[in-house]
Chains A and B, each alone.
Chain A
Amino acid sequence: MSAAPGEIPRWVDIAFIPLVNIALAFLVSGVILWAIGVDPIQAVEIILYGAFGYDVALGYTLYYTTNFVFTGLAVAVAFHAGLFNIGGEGQAYIGGLGVGLGILLVDRYLPFYLVLPLAVLLGAVFGAAWAAIPAYLQAYRGSHIVITTIMFNFIAAALMVYLMVNVLIQPGSMSPESREFAQAGHLPFMHEMLGWFGLQVTPSPLNLSVIWAAVCCVLVWGFIWHTRWGYEIRTVGANETAAVYAGIDPRKVIMLAMCLSGALAGFVGINEVMGVHHRLLLNFTAGYGFTGIAVALMGRNHPVGIVLASLLFGMLYQGGAELAFEEPKVTREMVVTIQGLVILFSGALAFMMKGPIERAYLRLARRRSSPTGQEA
């Protein structure tokens, strides 16, 4: 490290402090486990084995990861514009509605390779539309995006209940679910696709959408750091006043960032509705939109970090389910608790360790340089 004396090298800020924050979150989680009478070390072993130990486990882990990549990217894109989009949950819900409606309309008439782009497009459009209203209200009417997106989560939930119970329910069915999609509306499962190449793996919900998630990561990276629009988004996020002087219209940037954010969240519908359930149903978002907040904060809004954080949460979701199965004292809500702690330490308390760590680094650096006698 060739940082000038008295200066903090970048790796401390980019890697070390976030890792310390996450470690703190896991430390507290371990204390909670210990307090309810579960051996934390053993719990970690069960979680790791339950998440990566065999092929079905890995399939489930990656299936959850797919959702978190979408919602994490969604939150991150908005963060880059300085906006906090808590509405990922509602946007994913409505995005899934778009996916489902599109498939229900055409699945009996069109082949798969035409249904898929339509479903992706509608998922994006519906998700973006649900984010566009709060964005418009923030940009042009001055209402606060946090409050409006929270409200829109609830409105989305009410709307979906209404539609599922009264409009989209399969006639004669008791549970509020649409009819099952025809084969053209099914995204192939990973075990099916591997089967085409002669690889035999046990069935799991992992499906083609994981590839789309990876593509989205690359697209978001390219968009945010290598296009004019991405530059504008980051400029508005960094300093709105400066952006205005640079000739950028923050209102348009807010609309753009939020629509992109909503579209990314809407892709959860591709994974859940088209990939796994093959029908429209209630509550398929299952809190993934909120996990996206933790993922984005943990991954520091960068696609690489988001993939790593999503994997971690995918592991926790799948391994946590396994842990709940092995240990009757633990429930899957332990993962929600960990999620809350991660948001607390990597988000709200992000600055807590910054000062002490930087001072400690400087002290160490000075001690190392003092034998040479060059002390400022």
Chain B
Amino acid sequence: MGEFLFSLLLSFDATLRVATPLVFCAMAGLFSERSGVVDISLEGKMLAAAFAAASTAAVTGSAWLGLGAGIAVSVVLALLHGFACITHRGDQVVSGVAINILVSGLTVVLGIAWFARGGQTPSVGRDARFTPVTLPGAEAMADVPVVGALYSELISGHNLLVYLAFATVPLTWWVIYRTRFGLRLRAVGENPGAVDTAGISVSFLRYRAVLCAGVLCGFAGTYLSIAQNAAFVREMTAGQGYIALAALIFGKWRPVPAMLACLMFGFLDAVAIRLQGVVVPVIGPIPVQLIQALPYVLTVVLLAGFIGKAVAPKAIGVPYVKER
């Protein structure tokens, strides 16, 4: 029993690590989509940020410069998305797909041209990474039953970006629901005409929203390449941007439910490896692929309205044309 609980604890621990980039990206998508701009390009922005962060950290030896580069590149892509969808009223999905494909090619092209390692960046040392932080008192509390184990194993010992990711959730909630900017952002996603009538610029609001998305995706990518891992590997996001998008929809475009969905999808991912070869009575061995596909299946089922109903922001995907 104790062994099972401990293994469960380790799974939860792994869940937090896996869910971190999902949480960043889901919050990024929330800003963008709540303002009415579809963001398929979470994946691409995260991948670009991962590459920029790893390259910069490898060259300069500084994790903080890596983070800065990751955010900068992600923001540039977010602005490109905004330029296409807001300024030129292009198709938001097409623009997102373009960014994803562009980045998936460009990161490898530049990676090989700069580092000649088959698309990888050189691995960075401990100084150039975000390394685990031991929270105060974790050592002392380790022997306290239950609470101590929870604190020292589960909560302590992650890197800074993990804590930051979970801090962005209440922050996002506060910005979206408790500030004037958030109110306007939600309004522009539901009824941009009304916002325009009130004398507020729809374009400027949406640009700020995609900018927020860019910054958050920058954190997600940086986490992947120089916190969770020590180098950039080609295609290292491996569809996590899409899982985050699924989590955002699963959480019905709300911060806390979206985070819970990220945790659930992260948990599925964490246990998928542990459940390999486990035989369940009656059903037989669980195919790992089934668990891996579960986030996508669940999202499809949810969107189809079979479990609850996910209602998107009303003006999502529609470019705003100001009447003359």
A341 within 8 A of B: yes
Known A150-B242, A337-B106; contact A343-B94, beta-carbon cutoff 8 A: yes
Q: Is the CB of A347 within 8 A of B109?
A: no
Known A137-B304, A161-B289; contact A154-B239, beta-carbon cutoff 8 A: yes
Q: Is the CB of B40 within 8 A of A333?
A: no
CB distance from A42 to the nearest CB of B (A): 16
CB distance from A75 to the nearest CB of B (A): 11
The interface stretch among B155-163, B171-179, B294-302 is B294-302
Q: Is the CB of A154 within 8 A of B105?
A: no
Q: Mark B67-111, 1 if CB is under 8 A from A, else 0.
A: 000000000000010011100111101110111111111101110
Chain B residues 230 to 259 lying within 8 A of chain A, measured CB to CB, are: 239, 242, 245-246, 249
Chain A residues 183 to 242 lying within 8 A of chain B, measured CB to CB, are: none
CB neighbours of B109 from chain A (8 A): 32, 36, 330-331, 333-334, 337
Q: Is the CB of B113 within 8 A of A37?
A: yes
Tally of contact residues, B, Cβ under 8 A: 49
B292 within 8 A of A: yes
CB neighbours of B182 from chain A (8 A): none
Separation of A335 and B108 alpha carbons in the complex (Å): 11
Q: Is the CB of A340 within 8 A of B300?
A: no
CB distance from A324 to the nearest CB of B (A): 9
Q: Is the CB of A340 within 8 A of B106?
A: yes
Q: Is the CB of B105 within 8 A of A339?
A: yes
Contact of B300 among A84, A143, A330, A349 (CB under 8 A): A143
CB distance from B203 to the nearest CB of A (A): 15
Known A144-B312, A344-B84; contact A336-B297, beta-carbon cutoff 8 A: no
Q: Is the CB of B299 within 8 A of A341?
A: no
Q: Is the CB of B98 within 8 A of A151?
A: no
Separation of A155 and B239 alpha carbons in the complex (Å): 12
CB neighbours of B99 from chain A (8 A): 340, 344
CB neighbours of B103 from chain A (8 A): 340
CB neighbours of B116 from chain A (8 A): 328
B260 within 8 A of A: no
A141 within 8 A of B: yes
Q: Mark A60-99, 1 if CB is under 8 A from B, else 0.
A: 0000000000000000000000001010000000000000
Contact of A148 among B80, B119, B239, B300 (CB under 8 A): B300
Q: Is the CB of A137 within 8 A of B300?
A: yes
Known A143-B303, A343-B98; contact A351-B293, beta-carbon cutoff 8 A: no
Q: Is the CB of B304 within 8 A of A141?
A: yes
Q: Is the CB of B93 within 8 A of A86?
A: yes
Q: Is the CB of A347 within 8 A of B98?
A: yes
Chain A residues 312 to 349 lying within 8 A of chain B, measured CB to CB, are: 328-331, 333-341, 343-344, 347-349
Q: Mark B298-324, 1 if CB is under 8 A from A, else 0.
A: 011001110000001000000000000
Chain A residues 17 to 39 lying within 8 A of chain B, measured CB to CB, are: 32, 36-37
Q: Is the CB of A340 within 8 A of B40?
A: no
Q: Is the CB of A349 within 8 A of B303?
A: no
CB neighbours of A36 from chain B (8 A): 109-110, 113-114
CB neighbours of B80 from chain A (8 A): 344
A16 within 8 A of B: no
Q: Is the CB of B106 within 8 A of A352?
A: no
A159 within 8 A of B: yes
CB neighbours of A166 from chain B (8 A): 287
Known A142-B305, A347-B94; contact A340-B102, beta-carbon cutoff 8 A: yes
CB neighbours of B110 from chain A (8 A): 36
CB distance from A139 to the nearest CB of B (A): 11
CB distance from B307 to the nearest CB of A (A): 12
B290 within 8 A of A: yes
A41 within 8 A of B: no
B164 within 8 A of A: no
Separation of A340 and B80 alpha carbons in the complex (Å): 13
CB distance from A191 to the nearest CB of B (A): 31
CB neighbours of A161 from chain B (8 A): 289
A152 within 8 A of B: yes
Q: Is the CB of A144 within 8 A of B303?
A: yes
Q: Is the CB of B97 within 8 A of A343?
A: yes
A158 within 8 A of B: yes
Listed residue (A84, A154, A290, A350) with the most chain B CB atoms within 10 angstroms of its CB: A154
Q: Mark A338-372, 1 if CB is under 8 A from B, else 0.
A: 11110110011111100000000000000000000
A146 within 8 A of B: yes
CB neighbours of B101 from chain A (8 A): 290, 294, 336, 339-340, 343
B133 within 8 A of A: no
CB distance from A21 to the nearest CB of B (A): 11
B112 within 8 A of A: yes
Separation of A334 and B97 alpha carbons in the complex (Å): 17
Known A154-B242, A340-B105; contact A143-B305, beta-carbon cutoff 8 A: yes
CB distance from B305 to the nearest CB of A (A): 5
Jot down 5 A-B pairs with beta carbons below 8 A, ordered by A.
A151-B299, A154-B296, A165-B289, A344-B80, A352-B88
Pairs of residues from A and B, 5 with the lowest C-beta to C-beta distance, nearest first: A340-B102, A336-B105, A337-B105, A348-B95, A143-B303
Q: Other CB < 8 Å A-B pairs besides A143-B304, A165-B289, 17 of them? A: A147-B303, A150-B242, A155-B293, A333-B109, A333-B119, A336-B101, A336-B108, A337-B102, A337-B105, A339-B105, A340-B100, A343-B98, A343-B102, A347-B97, A348-B98, A349-B88, A352-B90
